[in-house]
Structure 1
Amino acid sequence: MAAGAPRVFVSHLSGVPVFDPNGDQVGRVRDLVAMLRVGARPPRILGLVVEVISRRRIFLPMTRVTGVESGQVITTGVVNMRRFEQRPTERLVLGEFLDRRVRLVESDEEVTVLDVAIQQLPARRDWEIDKYFVRKGRGGALRRKGETLTVEWSAVSGFSLEEHGQGAENLVATFERLRPADVANALHHLSPKRRVEVAAALDDDRLADVLEELPEDDQVEILGKLKEERAADVLEAMDPDDAADLLSELPEEDKERLLTLMRPDDAADVRRLMSYEERTAGGLMTTEPIVLRPDATVADALARVRQQDLSPALAAQVYVCRSPDETPTGKYLGTVHFQRLLRDPPFTLVSSIVDSDLVPLPPDTPLPTVTSYLAAYNLVSAPVVDESGSLLGAVTVDDVLDHLLPEDWRETDFHGEGGIHHGR
């Protein structure tokens, strides 16, 4: 782990206030949620349990934590207010790790965990357990007199999953190493009962990524087995175009109920996408491309492109528009491609290097025309603009391929003979 990466002892986080970017308090930290992993990998921190003003406890993913500083936690401001429910694969760090009796690997001596240190991975928002602060002795009077020491996570046994077993947590831990498409392929070949069990044990963001890679029948089956509030959370975590495709497969009554449970902004994006014909630019597009105002700089653009959760196709260019800069935007001015961003000084305004020669696609552009457009101009993404000149979204090449391939292409076992092989 890189030197200088932030490290925090969890006892120092208990009860600290959580603030949004504007400085308004959201609540206080009551616990941390961890996931055990198979083999010699440290437990991963999934998020925080935050008690909000109403005393409701909610889950705040670590991907939405922008800062863990002295005496406070800063979030992106996007907070889901649904009540936190612990899942079978999750462990509460304060509630379940502290005061736990474990053993030192080297001496097999029993120790008590007094505190746990977590550390952020370099250049990412992921956090892992890094060290344990332990006391030797068997409890009672000796507990307060025993020697204390801080050890690496690997020096303690009792915080990792066994390699064998049929529990969902073991499969989930194993799947963590795989890409979403590979997890989807594995899930598809499980029995329906097992598929639903494992899918339910995945966290919302991971399940959303996996659902996007599954055949429609599997998507509908899994979504239908989740509690409605959980299903709405997963739909919010999906790309809007994929969520719209999935909801369009549901009965009208179920669709409306789930849309009502979603956050209004997310539901509005999905409803807008569902208003277009499926095999058109409007039906294919995502409503979340990178949008910048004309006075943004190359440095601003590169910072946005670096965001980890962006697909390569969406990170290949930024779209320059007048305010508002969320779709549907103000007037669309043009595109700046990633390679151009690398050639110009960081202080350069994006408005001065914008490519305005490419004619954007209207939302009713049929799929064959979209395909020809991407091929003719060697693009991986194309802007979709309405009659008023506002940017509605972007069509990416992966969404076009989804509709060009045979309907059952996701059900093909591409790990078999003649398919794609992954080395160890």
Structure 2
Amino acid sequence: MTNSTNTEKAFELATEQYESLGVNVTRALERLREVAISVQCWQGDDVVGFEGNDGALGNGLAVTGNYLGRARTPDELRSDLELAYSLIPGNHRLNLHALYGEFNGPVDRNEIGVEHFAGWMDWAASQGVKLDFNPSYFSHEKASDGFTLSNADSGIRQFWIDHGIATRKIAAAMGAAQGNPCINNFWVPDGFKDTPASRKAPRERLAASLDQIFAEALPAAHTLDAVECKLFGIGSESYVVGSHEFYLGYAISRNKVLCLDAGHFHPTEVISDKISSVMMYVPELLLHVSRGVRWDSDHVVTYTDELQAIMQEIVRGEFLERVHIGLDFFDASINRVAAWAIGTRNALKAVLAGLLEPTEQLEQLEQSGDYTARLALMEEQKMMPLGAVWDYYCQTSGVPVGAAWLEKVREYETSVQSLRSSELGTANA
């Protein structure tokens, strides 16, 4: 019996088990095929970008490890991404940061334009990949004191305001070209290492700067503005201007997309518990799915309880149409393409687990007050044959089943990544 036949047989048995609980497996897979994960470009090159600088990170960003084969050019990064997408079932997106343009010479961030991302747009169209975007408010001389849009210096503030305005125009052009909104996510790392004398003034300046950036109304069919909150960071342990409360209020009052990053909160605080609350008040939600270990360390996404809880909340709340799922991790201690494959496949597995849950039955038990049966069914659900359905989904999507994808990464590492200059390919420690 071939591996393909084994996968189909296992899927048939799994389908019977799920259907005994009233779960429509066929419908679950149909819905999963519609889920597009926004894969982060910065995993492929350790958040260095293509501005031609020395690749030194700043503003609380750090990448550990020095695994061979870091992408050093847009073409190398695109090659790595093509392999990663070939290992992941479904059709997914790419999340680009502004420092990844093709500049061909010095271009400061307040001067970037659509022309610097034309190559990315052409590549995305050829690959059937939709683009998302981000301004880059870090690793720049005008961010060296830890403040950008909330800086007390009006000249520096204006520089970063102009950068934000430029990125919105780029995102709108991307969305118009791809016929699908490009989400432009604003993460601003401003903050103090120690206790500030005024928490109010920087937040007033940040709100005023954002209002200037968003002053021009752009078509929602082309781009959506998102704002991302954070509790703390390296170098801003005591105070981050753009806190959760700040951006929740800003998103509600300005009708913006709110971005929740799984690593941006207290180590014992989870974003799965926030989803149903914030969705009552914001039009749409962007998630940066990550895995913080003790701090906002952006580890590769693994199949954790919290990952499953995040996706359960999206499915249970019927939020799939209003929640945009993106990834945010960067690890230079392992093969970077493998990191994309592991993290994205795990995110999709968790979505599938949520879709295969007998949600209606669980809610009926809850409404009837039968909490005993609710708990029993939730626990029994954990042993259902999710893996058999996942393997079938991979097989029918034309991607490797199980860990077979790892061999393709090994071959690529030997034939492509290992040939890249070790001197140019070093990561930031």
TM bin, normalised by shorter chain, reads under 0.3
Which has the higher Rg, Structure 1 or Structure 2? 1
Q: Relative contact order (C-alpha < 8 Å, sep 6+): which is higher?
A: 2
TM-score (normalised: structure 2): 0.28
> More helix by proportion, 1 or 2?
2
Name the structure with the higher strand share: 1
